[in-house]
Structure 1
Amino acid sequence: MTFENLASDFYSFESALTDQEKAAIADLRSYLETEVSPIMAGYWERAEFPSQVIPKLAEHHVMSYSWAETTPFENSAVFRGFVALELARVDASVSTFVGVQNGLAMGSISVCGSQAQRDEWLPKMATGEVLGAFGLTEPLSGSDSAQGLRTVATRDGDEWVLNGSKRWIGNATFSDVTIIWAKDAEDGQVKGFIVPTSTPGYTATKIEGKISLRAVQNADITLEDVRVPERLRLANANTFKDTASVLRLTRAEVAWAAVGVAVGAYEAAVAYSRERVQFGKPIGQHQLIQDLLVKCLGNITASIAMCVRVSEMLDRGEQRDEHSALAKAFCTTKMRETVSLAREVLGGNGIVLDYKVARFFADAEALYSYEGTREMNTLIVGRSITGKAAFV
């Protein structure tokens, strides 16, 4: 498959990828545009996830790029970022599925698991044989997860007994395992557990009535005396700092996904501007429409530049929490503005699924909030700037 830079990558950041990485991007782009994009409006409207895409996604290795145990070739964080952009450019729900499977669930095992746990789970998750979810957020604990977790893990011999509840857990209606984060009843520290969803006392109930990421299968989870053997406790997850180390890695890829959502909406608006005729000519020939599109492109270009830089820092081992936090806060804010401008280009047609922009417009709201709201990420950056924490 021949690689061509996206027109929306106005400064050609993709040109820095290796030839092997470019080939992988071209192959993934072709699959997503021909087989995934045409079906997503229907799945989004029905609030269903197209499970048939999972094996093909696995064949394109998008659930193994981040982790050395399963990656098909050595690749950069910048490349992984462009993979996230490509997924979200076609559909944010598919991107979120991969982000949960690859980033949060597999990431938790890779970062916080033992070598034996990595060897057991990551290869099966990379192929899609085992699907994962990530259970941190609770009904009464979102931004304050570091202190406010109410799910409790109590040691009982060679087992742990989990009691509590989780909310907004993506993939949880069909996952085979869920990474559950809970406070140790003895020392009060947060620990992680690989919980098979078939375990007695584990229940996942789909959340209905969403207006964003409708194809993502979010669930409420209840844990009633769920028994987990010690061998399924993440060996290197001993405090919330370990949980945060997973989120730091995935937060930067959420920034990349936000760019992808903005790109998807922008490209749909550009296509529409070339076809829609008003006042005797395509609307793309009107100055006001060009102004909106240029604002979109400026937001996208600035966001890609920030994402490339923060990923380069990750490759060099220089990325800190405040770096990924700034990228997430900035890029999701610019994404929100960009999808609004793109919707404006389409006028009334911007609110129907036929033209794609409406889906990106709605889905942007979820990315704006998950993996740290703009406010929480600004506080992480603000602490770095001033040396003072202002969280409470």
Structure 2
Amino acid sequence: MLLVLGYSNVNAQDENNPWQITLGINAVDAYPSGDGAPFSETIFSKFVDVDNWNVLPSLSTISVSKYVGDGFSFGLAGSLNKIENWGEDANGDAISVGDLSYYGIDGTVKYNFLPGKTIDPYLGIGGGYTWVDEVGAGTLNGTLGLNIWFSDNIGFTLQSAYKHAFEDYLQTHFQHTAGISIKFGGTDTDGDGIYDKDDACPDVAGLAAFNGCPDSDGDGIEDSKDDCPNEAGLAEMNGCPDSDGDGVADKDDNCPTVAGLKALAGCPDADGDGVTDADDACVNTAGPAANKGCPWPDTDGDGVLDKDDKCPDVKGTVANNGCPEVTEEIQKTLNEYAKTILFDTGKSTIKAQSEEVLGDIIGILKEYPTAKFTVEGHTDSVGSEKLNQRLSDSRANSVKEYLINNGIDAFRLSALGYGESKPIDSNKTRAGRANNRRVEINLAK
């Protein structure tokens, strides 16, 4: 029965189970106490001679004690017996005294040498009162005992007490007891077999390995230290799983079923360009993230990548950010066309026959979409200087507005009149004055 009650768990927990009750039998023996003299030659003589023992073959002793800490406990015991033999005669034969009743009540302070261990010896001292045939006397008791614990709660106790009587009519004697001991009184709120005193999680059922704290997913990591307490995982992942084995826990892995890189939250990058395969439009060719993982193209083949090319569809130069540069030859052509723009006499109105040349100018300007130009107006010296200045401003702005209205961005053009201040020929001849009346379109510096 004792084996069934828990032989596998052999540590008595006095701190957790402070109460102990012992039920058993007792044997009373008067002979080895010294024939009335405490230190006579018969002291402990025939200590284990059971022929002199008086044993009541039934439940005859009960004790209750409470552990108070540091190995000490205090208890009370009650016992009864039937005395048939009381010492020996000169021939060494037991002295029969008939059938006397024996009652005892004793209090003892005990010190356990190995509390909490399977083998738990103890010493005790105390006192009590004993009646033999209804005649009682006080006693001073010394106790030596041994607990053998089969589980946290069940054990076997052997004890021998020396009871020194203070009255002559009660002989000093020994009382031996043997019985079953039961520990109780410990609190285990969560019912996990670990008492609250030692339970780090007293309100939640757990495991002894974790001081009573739970491991819900059974991965060997207690819940309080487990980042994924409901999903079995790895110690190096703080209890979280890593399904693809890439060193990134599934909870942090954007691609939990495919091995990837920590830097990319567990997703793969086949071409090593820092763009995950799922977002990479060119999975096997490295390219920048700004271009979805593909290399930047150079559509016009001018050596300037489209991302840096201000004219990606028109071949240009590196120095001009991928746009074509206006050469001296182009500049000369523009002004040859501009010189032929005709206006009504004394006015800024452009004559209809100039539309063709203006179309040619517009075509050239569109070939250089980032270049900026200044439309300059000039006159001859006929008339007042003030009038000529106003006329040149007006004609320059008239040409500028025409160009804007026909597809040239306004931010690329400015207009400026110089009047008669910059002649290119003599104003004394008809041909010279005709040359001086002109419009120029020059690259803005």
TM-score class, shorter-chain normalisation, is: under 0.3
Of structures 1 and 2, the one scoring higher in RCO (CA 8 A, sep 6+) is 1
More helix by share: 1
What's the TM-score, normalizing by structure 2? Answer: 0.17
More strand by share: 2
